[in-house]
Structure 1
Amino acid sequence: MSGVPKAPLFLGLAGLIPFVWGAVTYVNSDLQAWGTQMLGPRFVGPYVQLFYGAVILSFMSGILWGFATKTSRSKAATCYALSVLPALWAFFTTGGGPETAGINLIIGFIGLLFLDAAFWHWGLAPRWWMKLRILLTAIVVLCLAVGVYL
């Protein structure tokens, strides 16, 4: 991850903890039982992933909104409109049960990666942005897939 500043890298990796924890507690029943007892049922398995995933998609909308401030006129309007899509996607598609919500979050994070690439291509995101976003998105999608497909 050369070129990625340490603070965004470490904070991005730390932000993966709920996704990884959710995947691990989904496949390990002993850890799931411990987590349920110590943290509550909302903080294990796919449930922690789904809630946190919706939060992170919304957070990423805010990041894209910040990138949109670096442009003007019709391009700014386009960027602002695109920036709200991840939050709206999370809001409208994460109901309907854990499997459907998980699939929709996977789609949302892949779609977000395309938006990240567009903002990066337009010179609105830092040069190192896509290195970090590809890594984080791959891990998020893999973890969500555990809850959906296993």
Structure 2
Amino acid sequence: MTRIPLAPLTLGLAGLIPFVWGAATYLNDDLQAWGASTLGPRFVGPYVQLFYGSVILSFMSGVLWGFATKAEGARAATGYALSVLPALWAFFMTGGGPVSAGMNLIFGFAGLLLLDYAFYTWGLTPSWWMRLRVLLTAIVIACLAVGIWL
């Protein structure tokens, strides 16, 4: 694997802000109160994480779809079919309470990492893709876990 280019690394890390913010406001009552009064109650704690997590799984479906365009024949058809799974997972599995929705997002992001690996092994991603995806996924799952287990 090669080094992650600065732009994808920076943007990927910036994309973690709602997950990290959600975990921080879950752990710190004063920060949660400030965030709720300043930004609104849906932008703190598990609420921001769950909504944003669904958005990101849907976004990643689009990324995988883009990778599938680089394939041909049966591999392309498989890639397209697999690429819609994260969005469908987010749509169907993030209802209910915050604990079950958070747990399902963790499973969704873990499953997405498996899909990332499949597209990587098929040669459809940049060579640095898995380095970036493992880093981002580990942080996302850790942040989501705060709302479930702490």
TM-score (norm 1): 0.98
The letter for the 1-side match of 2:14 is A
The letter for the 1-side match of 2:53 is G
Show the counterpart of 1:74: 74
Distance 2:143 2:70 in 1: 33
> Cα distance, 1:72 vs. partner?
1.0
Q: Please tell me whether the aligned partners of residues 2 and 127 of structure 2 are also in contact (alpha carbons under 8 angstroms).
A: no
The C-alpha deviation readout for 1:30-88, integer Å capped at 9, x for no partner, is: 00000000000000000000000000000000000000000111111100000000000
Show the counterpart of 1:109: 109
The letter for the 2-side match of 1:59 is F
Structure 1 runs (4+) deviating above 4 angstroms are none
Show the counterpart of 1:25: 25
Check if 1:40 corresponds to 2:40. Answer: yes
Show the counterpart of 1:7: 7
Distance 1:79 1:72 in 2: 9
Structure 2 unaligned runs (5+)?
Answer: none
The letter for the 1-side match of 2:15 is G
TM-score (norm 2): 0.98
> Aligned residues: percent identity?
75
> Cα distance, 1:2 vs. partner?
6.3
